[in-house]
Chains A and B, each alone.
Chain A
Amino acid sequence: MDLKKFSAQIRLETLKELKHRTFGHIGGSMSLVETMSVLYGDVMHVNPSDPSDPSRDYLVLSKGHAGPVLYATLALKGFFPVEMLKTLNDNGTDLPSHADRNKTPGIDMTTGSLGQGISAAVGIAKGLKLQGKNNRVFAIVGDGELNEGQCYEALIFASKHHLDNLVVFVDDNKLQLDGPTRDVSDVGNLDDRFKSFAFDTRRVDGHHEPTIKQAIHDALAVEGKPSVIILDTVKGKGVKEIENLTGSHHMRFSEEDNKILDQYIAILEGEINE
């Protein structure tokens, strides 16, 4: 699969989905586009016609507010019609703001209250180990999410239980809701922090598909301990006007914003149709 093209499709559908709803968690969705592309376009074994296929790999989007980018990816992958993306946050929708395992095909864990998804991910990894299964588990946390103490409980557990079937991603976009992570609640040197929890640690450009892909393959080859891939990312990536903007965590789009989004939508459509 052409991962660069898949990324463009995911970015396009995410923007269209959010623009249609007129508001949403755009910043932290955009920063994960390339990671979703690599995971679903190359690495993960999933089965859109049977989302609960027992041989599938698991993904827990611990930063559950990035639901829109996951929904776009799952739709493009065939878990449900792309048309359904327009129902994001509709009354009674199956695509709520935060990921929900009981509503959306292809979602393994309900998340949204930060810090909880990573615990579920280590539980899934432990459960698979207990059953002697080889499925892999991927968990995505935000750098802001790493303010939550529960994350560190989960890291201790993952190391203690040698969960080498688990790869944690940190979407290190350096911004949380109220501002730069270092100003709001500095999580320090993430690389050193994860190393101190005995994680196999690597940091990569989170917007370059071949680098992410290589990092995942390297992480999966590690035996006896869990891995983390710290993704150097840009919040709002791909929409210059909102990149690295504090207010991009959740935006309500003005008429001006809509014009900007339309420009990017047109550019992405052009790229994809080339």
Chain B
Amino acid sequence: MSKYIKEEKQTRELRKVYASSLVNMMEKDDRVVALEADLMSAITTNSVQAAYKDRLVNCGVQEANMMGVAAGLSVTGMIPFVHSFGIFVTRRAYDQLFLSLGYAQLNARIIGSDAGVTAQHNGGTHMPFEDLALVNAIPNSIVLEMSDDTMFEKLLEQTKDAYGLYYFRIVRKQMRKLYHEDQDFQVGKGIVLEDGKDATIVASGIMVEEALKARELLKEDGIDAAVIDMFTIKPIDEDLLVEYANKTKLVVTAENHNVNGGLGSMVTQVVSEKAPVKMRHIGVKESFGQVGTKDYLQEVYKLRAEDIRDAVKDGLK
């Protein structure tokens, strides 16, 4: 079990972590190149320019071409880090992502920012509720949703030399701080934050914070819920899911994403086949995005701790 940070604390902005990680990686490795599509200032990679002007390539507003350029760079042995808002690096340029990178078996790190409701006032056109589903459907893709800054920083550097198509789904600014500097992260290994015997809440991204709050709410009802941070959506941690499904007999998933094709679907595939127990799913259901504050949107789409609590209680009926 992880000794996570229990007191309420905010992370660094993940965009700043991205920019500083790029500088670190570029310093160590000439192959690292960053691609942007005119959202450099939004993700603060303009700060990379001073040191590595050549290897920060702003393609302009052309996401489809940016994916192809990433593919071409990979053909020459470079390691492209490709950023835009989550909708633009998935939905907008999906065939390019799927074919020029995925099907062509090329090497790239895709960073999709403003996960789900954290797109806030950019609204429905800019709110990714389906990016995980899209990237999950690409064979051999690695799909990761960041639940804290330390995780993001470590996984970026840790996977730099791995080969393949990686998708990092991130909140652009701050989120709840969860992990100490010495926390170990492994692709394919979920993290048990809290043990429990009555139910298991499997969450990713900002929903990990909600899951932890839900656990506290459930205590008031005498329910002991385990909380797992399943940041590694693909490959998912099958062993851990089977262990906790068998142990708690109820699995509730919580994601800041459409319930179709994201974390909940990936968890269900494992649980339904290998340890069938009752399940409930918290996530966006048959809805598009809209403008609003994060809190408001979490209320609208039922992505709050209270919603998770209710789902657990419903599952235990």
A109 partner residues in chain B, CB cutoff 8 A: 71-72, 75, 100, 104
A119–B54 CB distance below 8 A: no
Collect the chain B residues with CB atoms within 8 Å of residue A119's CB: 64-65, 67-69, 71-72, 96, 100
Asked whether, in the complex, the Cβ of B72 is within 8 Å of the Cβ of A116, the reply is no
Q: Closest chain A residue to B35 by CB distance?
A: A123
| A1 at the binding interface (Cβ < 8 Å) | no
0/1 string, B93-106, CB within 8 A of A gives 1:
00110011001110
Contact of A58 among B54, B75, B104 (CB under 8 A): B75
Query: Which of A115-129 touch B at CB < 8 Å?
Result: 115-128
Question: Which candidate, B55-63, B231-239, B269-277, is the interface stretch facing chain A?
Answer: B55-63
B33 within 8 Å of A (CB atoms): yes
B254 at the interface (CB under 8 A from A): no
Judged by DSSP, the binding face of A is: helix
- Is A263 an interface position by the 8 A CB rule? no
Q: Assess the A123–B95 pair: CB atoms within 8 A.
A: no
Contacts of B99 in A (CB 8 A): 110, 112-113, 116
Chain A residues with CB below 8 A from B103, complex form: 110
Nearest chain B CB to A191 CB, angstrom units = 22
- Contact yes or no, B78 A127, CB < 8 A: yes
0/1 interface trace, chain B 113-128, chain A, CB 8 Å (1 if under):
0000000000000000
Whether B77 sits at the interface, judged by CB under 8 Å, is yes
Residues of A within 8 A of B138 (CB): none
Give the Cβ gap from B199 to chain A, nearest Cβ, in Å: 44
Q: Which of A112, A116, A161 contacts B96 (CB 8 A)?
A: A116
Query: How far is the CB of B83 from the nearest CB of chain A, in Å?
Result: 16
> Which of A110, A133, A149, A156 lies in contact with B100, CB distance below 8 A?
A110
B95 to chain A, nearest CB (A): 6
Given A102-B104, A110-B103, the answer on whether A150 and B68 have CB atoms closer than 8 Å is yes
- Determine whether B70 belongs to the interface, using a CB cutoff of 8 Å to chain A: yes
**Chain A: number of interface residues, binned into ranges:** 20 to 34
Residues A124-139 near B (CB distance < 8 A): 124-128, 130-131, 133
Confirm or deny: B287 has a beta carbon within 8 angstroms of a beta carbon on chain A.
no
Interface check B76, CB cutoff 8 A: yes
Let me know if A17 is at the binding interface, CB within 8 A: no
Closest chain A residue to B69, Cβ basis = A123
Q: What band does the interface of chain B fall in when counting residues whose beta carbon is under 8 Å from A?
A: 20 to 34
In the complex the two chains form, what is the Cα distance from A252 to B275 in whole Å? 51
Closest-CB distance, A200 to chain B (whole angstroms):
20
Q: Is B73 in contact with chain A by the CB < 8 A criterion?
A: yes
Within 8 A of B (CB), among A86-120: 101-102, 108-110, 112-113, 115-120
Query: Which residue in B33, B65, B78, B104 is a CB contact (below 8 Å) of A122?
Result: B65
Chain A residue nearest in CB terms to B70: A123
Contact status B68-A116, CB under 8 Å: yes
Q: Is the CB of A128 within 8 A of B100?
A: no
Would you give the shortest CB distance from A168 to chain B, in whole angstroms?
13
Q: Are A108 and B75 in contact (CB under 8 A)?
A: yes
CB pair A127–B68 under 8 Å, yes or no, is no
From A120, A125, A149, give the contact of B71 (CB < 8 A): A120
Report the Cα distance A124→B77, complex, angstroms: 9
Q: Does A42 contact B (CB under 8 A)?
A: no
**Chain B neighbourhood of A156, CB < 8 A:** 60, 62, 65
Measured between beta carbons, the chain A residues less than 8 angstroms from B30 are 131
Point out the residues of chain B lying under 8 angstroms from A60, CB to CB: 72
- Output the least CB separation between B219 and chain A (Å): 53
Check if A124 sits within 8 Å of B75, measured CB to CB: yes
List of A residues within 8 angstroms of B71 by Cβ: 109, 119-120, 123
Q: List 7 A-B contacts (CB under 8 A).
A: A102-B105, A116-B64, A120-B100, A120-B104, A123-B74, A131-B30, A156-B65
Chain B positions near chain A (C-beta within 8 angstroms): 30, 33, 54-55, 57, 59-60, 62, 64-65, 67-78, 95-96, 99-100, 103-105
The 6 A-B pairs with the shortest beta carbon distances in the complex, nearest first, are A123-B72, A119-B68, A127-B76, A153-B65, A123-B69, A153-B62
